[in-house]
Structure 1
Amino acid sequence: MMAKKLTVIPEQCSGCSICELVCGIKHFGVNNPKKAAIRVLTTYPHPVMRMPIVCSQCKVAACAQVCPVDALRWIDGVVQLDKGNCISCYKCVEACPFGAIYAHEDCDLPIKCDMCGGDPECVKKCPKGALRLIPEAALGESRRLNNVLSYTQMKEIEFY
């Protein structure tokens, strides 16, 4: 099976947050964007920019490296959280350089994208095509770098 990457095209994001909605419903059965493994960051007032933040499924994952019980492992192109092994120390949340692992007061475990078993709901439901599942081989180094730079630029801006 060819590895695929969930890729963000920030210029196409409308900020509708449907990705957050479908993720929260799929994984928790609730309409609560704070329980989603994807978050849409938006800048105000000008320029308005929107950037969906989701796990990059790093091959050398900082989150996995800091986990004291090896509850995060890279398996078949996805950094998987072993819920039975996780001790909820949340070191992974702090270690993620992209801010793409979340904690929620109602959840006993970190919230992290699991790629919906290879068929992400957020990709299927995004009305603007801002989220795409692309074969990793087709995703050039420049696009990977652009995604990282887009996020880095967004992180330096105050969000509301």
Structure 2
Amino acid sequence: MSRKLTVIPEQCSGCKICELVCSIRQFGVNNPKKAAIRVIVVYPHPVLRMPIVCSQCKRSTCEEVCPVGALRRDNGVVQLDKDVCISCFKCIEACPFGAIYAHEDCEFPIKCDMCGGDPECVKKCPKGALRLIPEAALGEVRRLNNVLSYTQMKEIEFYEKGEKKVIQYAEIGKEEL
């Protein structure tokens, strides 16, 4: 089953460890501006911390606008072929999420490649704000969180195989899916 890198912004502390591990894996340097993930912080009330990373869209505009076909899907992940890329940066402009980046030291766009299917950012996120979730379960987490926040519930009870189970609100979306 295909798994998708998912962001749960409510759990992000803004530590930016994901940016550090990504830049180290991608470029071998401790430079968050060279990461394929960026944590933005918005200061309305409440403060929102939101990791921005490639969504690996099924119909990706970055792939469509590339004039030389340097962006190609491989096992569900849109990959940048640096041997083909002409550094026009049209993919950066086309991404509706702003998840492809440029850096003055880098000849090519910086884009998440999912670390070959085992993303470092997911492994190192101390709060579990970044997760690999089966694509079929993506909407379920959002629906449960919306219902629980709307009703002010702190937990949900359900029966599985005849056994009563209780999930705390903070636990929804973890790897049990």
Matched residue, 2:21: 22
Name the counterpart of 1:156. Answer: none
Q: Is the 8 A contact 1:4 1:77 kept in 2?
A: no
Deviation at 1:143, TM superposition (A): 3.7
* In structure 1, distance between residues paired with 2:24 and 2:141: 33
For the residue of structure 2 that corresponds to 1:139, the secondary structure is: helix
CA contact (8 A) 1:74 1:80 kept: yes
| TM-score w.r.t. length of structure 2 | 0.78
> What's the secondary structure of 1:123's corresponding residue?
helix
User: How far, CA to CA, are the matches of 2:45 and 2:137 in structure 1?
Assistant: 34
Q: Which residue of 2 aligns with 1:134?
A: 133
Tell me by how many angstroms 1:103 deviates.
0.3
Identity of aligned residues (%): 82
TM, length-normalised to structure 1: 0.86
Deviates more, 1:134-143 or 1:121-130: 134-143
Larger relative contact order (CA 8 Å, sep ≥ 6): 1
1:103-154 per-position Cα deviation (integer Å, ceiling 9, x unaligned): 000000000000000000000000000000011122227849x9xxxxxxxx
Q: Which has the larger radius of gyration?
A: 2
Secondary structure of the residue aligned to 2:22 is: helix
Give secondary structure in 1 for the equivalent of 2:133: strand
Alignment-mate amino acid for residue 73 of structure 1: R
The amino acid of 1:107's aligned partner reads: C
The Cα shift of 1:83 comes to 1.0
Partners of 2:64 and 2:142 lie apart in 1 by 25
Which amino acid counterpart does residue 32 of structure 1 have in structure 2?
N
For these two proteins, the number of residue pairs brought into alignment is: 144
Name the CA distance, whole Å, in 1 between partners of 2:87 and 2:140.
Answer: 34
CA change 1:88–1:9 in 2 (3 A) is same
Q: RMSD of aligned C-alpha atoms? A: 1.7
Distance of 1:93 and 1:60 partners within structure 2: 16
What runs of 5+ residues in structure 2 fail to find an aligned partner?
146-177
